[in-house]
Amino acid sequence: MKKSNKILIVLVLCIIFIGATIPFTLINFSGTQPPQPNYVRIYVNSTIYDQLYSEITQYKQDVINQGYTADIIAWSNNSIYDLKQDLINSYSQGLVGAVLIGQLPIAQFDYLGSIFACDFFFMDLDGFWFDANPPIPLNDGILDYHDNSTGDLYPEIWIGRINPECLTITNYTQAYKDYFNRNHMPIELAHFPALIKHYYISMIRGLDGGVSI
Ligand SMILES: [Ca+2]
Ligand SMILES: [Ca+2]
């Protein structure tokens, strides 16, 4: 067989092999795509879950209607580390954020003696956080140290809280219900210019000392 014919046969075999492999490669690639990051977890303090079941179920549906997937979790664990581990576990499912409803774990951070609530602890899923940072090795439940570890210092997800229990009201259950009902109430775009107009009329009348409408 001539050398040129051998080269031609090899080329043909290569083309057949590549043609047969590409579809399997594409199928396999599409099968290993990471989940779309649109997953929201809605944590609810387990002690208020039953009373607010219908409102929170509606809230979940509102979240889904905005293009997310969502789960409700009745949570009764006070550990900031266990809550964070649950968020870390969910990140591989496409978690983009979490809503914390009711009294749920609050991380605190001590920066040069200034102590503050720190939801950033729950947002930064791959950074390193530590309680008892030398030279003050005080393991008191208040975080003292943060570095990037094998990840980075930035947030991977967002955290939101809904909790009226810090307010000077007595009927928290009603406050939750009122909030979720307001949140579900649609603002129709057709009415929006009228709302803006109403706002400005009220403001101007207030400035003039008139009676607001
Ligand atoms: Ca500490
Ligand atoms: Ca990070």
Distance 113 CA to ligand 1 centre (A): 10
Helix H or strand E segment including 184: helix 172-184
Does residue 29 surpass a pLDDT of 50? no
Give the start-to-end residue ranges of the domains of the chain: 3-162
Distance 149 CA to ligand 2 centre (A): 9
> Which ranges of 32-135 does DSSP label H, i.e. alpha helix?
46-49, 53-65, 80-91, 120-123
Distance 44 CA to ligand 1 centre (A): 27
Higher pLDDT, 174 or 30: 174
Higher pLDDT, 29 or 120: 120
Look up the CATH architecture of domain 3-162: 3-Layer(aba) Sandwich (3.40)
Instruction: Report the share of the chain in percent with pLDDT over 70.
Output: 68
Distance 136 CA to ligand 1 centre (A): 8
Distance 137 CA to ligand 1 centre (A): 7
pTM for this structure? 0.72
Neighbours of 101 (CB within 10 A): 24
> Quick one: pLDDT at residue 139?
81
